[in-house]
Chain A
């Protein structure tokens, strides 16, 4: 073995060790700074979305710094308007109690009507026989959430006009509802006791499900600060980060690296633009369909905006539309649908049909046209990614799952393609 061979082998060993140490150090840093990953990514994504707006202002001869300040002012104003709107529609304590009474009454009433339940709540129609094992525990949980505690009941009674609670039946509708709710809960409890022990087991299991630990205010403040710092830092950047990154690349890899970055930029841009358009279209469809079945326009718009906003998380738009639509259907007392076949008895079913139709349109029409091949991920990959994101980083993890998978996918495929094209592999 010659001296040159020994030296070459030592060089390879040294490089391998250095690379392994680099990987270990990188993994350690990522793990150590994992709490910063999500806020940094959210800030980066926000900056990426806002970059064209800053460029547009810059094109109109507004200095970049001023453009960023203007954008921040718009954000703050929008946040203030939204908070004020939410505060305006938030019910007071007394209103919240009334809302819960009305919701529980309507829920019980509609459930009994739909399932054809008898007075003791033990026998029903075919639908009931088929589904009551699954639906009863769910209804019990919702009932527990909505039912008033003794203290709340006392507060409610105190808030009614003097003598209303002892007044004859029919003189105060809400008091009547509250009485009916108490009676129904008692009947349900008796019916549950009459059931075999095996059937009541899931109810107690469901009730004891653990709830996720709430984030401390200090940690939340830290996350918000990190997000904004990253947002401002990246928005202020005029390409130095990209050029700095490319400066570290050897000359022979410069063009492939530039092409990979361009592919990443294109994929992320297509995804963000496509998703925004898809959310708008889904929201609009929900508004139209809900209005058609008799939901008042203002509530249809609110549900549409909520659906569009939550659609950034895969499958969440559908769930949000369904839940908010059903919540409205349960609370609504007076429905005036333009379609003659919709009535207050079958309104819940029509809400489900409308939301399912909107979801179908999204999957069959909007997604292929608007998103096209921008994402092109297998549904199983999306589901696993979203669940993994939820387990690791909670709600924000779910939000970032698809863009992250998209970036990784494009990074790997584009790198391989470029290296092959340039004869480097």
Chain B
């Protein structure tokens, strides 16, 4: 299904609550809307070099080759093994991530203390953009590697340094980050609105 929000890494919006609502935390439904359901197949690496890969990422698709090369000089490459947490809910956040290889499971702790799976991300998904923009960001979900995972990360401090040294490039990146955050916010509102509008129907049933 093609959504009106063209965000790579999110194939389909989860606007309806799944059938097994008993096992999931109801409050997590809007959160799930920010990601997609588990993709059926893992996506392989699409670009050979870092610059080629960055070109495929929605955030950076408007950037020229020179800017991409500059960006490639400041991003950090991290590798994770199966089951390793990329970050954990409730901890401070100072970087955002772009998935380069592998799959990432997004989970959130439910009210009963159990982990609620929200989504499975595939390359070239980006997530936690707000952490790179906000001053005091706290992670509201956990991300865990499913199999070997390779990520690119960019910290708030990296973006600050970019703003000083290359303000035009930093401005482009920040504008894209803000745009993606706005889309996610709309998705969240839509999901919340639909969830609430479905409530009377569920009661009737």
Interface residues of A (CB under 8 A from B): 52, 55, 58-59, 238-240, 243, 246-247, 251-252, 254-255, 258-259, 261-262, 265, 421-423
Q: Determine which of A251, A254, A265, A422 lies in contact with B161 in the assembled complex, contact meaning CB atoms within 8 Å.
A: A265
**Main SS of chain A's interface residues?**
helix
Q: Determine which of B78, B92, B168 lies in contact with A251 in the assembled complex, contact meaning CB atoms within 8 Å.
A: B78
Kindly list chain A residues whose C-beta atoms are within 8 Å of the C-beta of B155: 255, 258-259, 262
Given the known interface contacts A55-B165, A55-B166, the answer about A255 and B92 at a Cβ–Cβ threshold of 8 Å is yes
Q: Are B157 and A255 in contact (CB under 8 A)?
A: no
Q: B93 near A: Cβ within 8 Å?
A: yes
Q: Are B87 and A258 in contact (CB under 8 A)?
A: no
Kindly list chain A residues whose C-beta atoms are within 8 Å of the C-beta of B140: none
Q: Are B93 and A255 in contact (CB under 8 A)?
A: yes
Kindly list chain B residues whose C-beta atoms are within 8 Å of the C-beta of A422: 91-92
Q: Determine which of A52, A246, A265 lies in contact with B76 in the assembled complex, contact meaning CB atoms within 8 Å.
A: A246
Q: Are A262 and B165 in contact (CB under 8 A)?
A: no
Q: Are A258 and B91 in contact (CB under 8 A)?
A: no
- Complex formed: what's the CA distance from A243 to B74 in Å? 8
Chain A's closest residue to B86 (CB) is A251
- CB of B73, distance to nearest CB on chain A (Å): 5
Q: Are B166 and A258 in contact (CB under 8 A)?
A: no
Q: B82 near A: Cβ within 8 Å?
A: no
* Residues of chain B in range 141-160 having any CB-CB distance to chain A below 8 Å: 153, 155-158, 160
Q: Quick one: which of A58, A255, A421 has the most chain B CB within 10 A?
A: A255
Q: Are A239 and B160 in contact (CB under 8 A)?
A: no
- Complex formed: what's the CA distance from A55 to B167 in Å? 11
Q: Are A265 and B95 in contact (CB under 8 A)?
A: no
Q: Quick one: which of A55, A254, A265 has the most chain B CB within 10 A?
A: A254
Kindly list chain B residues whose C-beta atoms are within 8 Å of the C-beta of A52: 164-165
* Residues of chain B in range 61-99 having any CB-CB distance to chain A below 8 Å: 73-74, 76-78, 80, 84-87, 91-95
* Residues of chain B in range 30-76 having any CB-CB distance to chain A below 8 Å: 73-74, 76
- CB of A423, distance to nearest CB on chain B (Å): 7
Kindly list chain A residues whose C-beta atoms are within 8 Å of the C-beta of B73: 238-240
